[in-house]
Amino acid sequence: MAKGKGLIGQKLGMTSLFTNTGDQIPVTVISAGPCVVTQIKTMATDGYNSIQVGFGEKKAKNINKPLKGHFEKSGGGRYSKLKEFKISDPEIFKLGQAINIKDIFDIGDKVKISGTTKGRGFSGVIKRHGFHGGKKTHGSMSHRIPGSIGCSATPGRVIKGKKMPGQYGNTKNTVKNVEIIDIRPENNLILIKGAIPGHNKGLIELYKQGA
């Protein structure tokens, strides 16, 4: 019986695995779940069906009274991350129920992963957009500058969306159709093929594709 469509996890880092044929596969290790059901929303009470789950642990001093009362309804845990997942049948869930990796995912499944990319601060066009830059010869005055940005007399302004220097990273990003290479439920670990957004120890959201 499927129990939800996704989990909250934490990116631990990257490593590689060798297959039976000797191929080396780069993988990202994710600590996913167990997530605890902290709220159940139904069509009758909220107009749609979903569950809210909690992940991680937060210090008691950082939890305000309304949130503390909310957590007490599901067992009194202190969760650092809350996330809603839409579901079709809320009747199969109970407050305080733990959802684990094997309840949702299997080896070979395709998943969608969302996370916050690494923040790189204010960056120029070469680092931010991959511009080639100017000549490297002596006397050149345009090694790393963006170059002309205007449109002459018509329309006589800078077009919206022009690639220019600015804030790079620290935005939510999603990768789709990434494959689960291995699952180790005893340690709550999922090994995903390739790279995913975010820095090590960053929180991510996993969704089962097609669920």
User: How far is Cα 62 from Cα 119, in angstroms, rounded to an integer?
Assistant: 25
CB-facing half-sphere around the CA of 2: CA atoms within 13 A: 14
User: How far is Cα 36 from Cα 31, in angstroms, rounded to an integer?
Assistant: 15
Identify the pLDDT of residue 89.
84
- Rg, C-alpha atoms of the chain: 23
∠ CA 142-148-152, nearest 5°, is 150
**Token output for 111:** 């998943």
**Token output for 191:** 């090994």
Find, among 77, 99, 75, the residue nearest to 87 by Cα: 99
User: How far is Cα 25 from Cα 5, in angstroms, rounded to an integer?
Assistant: 26
Q: Where in the chain is the domain with CATH 2.40.30.10?
A: 6-120+171-208
User: How far is Cα 21 from Cα 33, in angstroms, rounded to an integer?
Assistant: 31
Helix (H) or strand (E) holding 77: none
Summarize pLDDT for 55-111 with one digit per residue, the tens: 988 888 888 999 889 988 888 888 889 999 888 888 888 898 888 888 888 898 999
User: 62-90 as b/e, with b when 16 or more CB fall inside 10 Å?
Assistant: ebeeeeeebbeebeeeebebbbebebeeb
Identify the pLDDT of residue 121.
95
Q: Show the low-confidence residues of the chain (pLDDT under 70).
A: 1-4, 211
Identify the pLDDT of residue 91.
85
Per CATH, which fold does 6-120+171-208 belong to?
A: Elongation Factor Tu (Ef-tu); domain 3 (2.40.30)
Identify the pLDDT of residue 21.
87
DSSP string, 99-162: E-GGGT--TT-EEEEEEEPPP--EE-HHHHH----S--STT-S-SS-------TTTT-SPPTT-
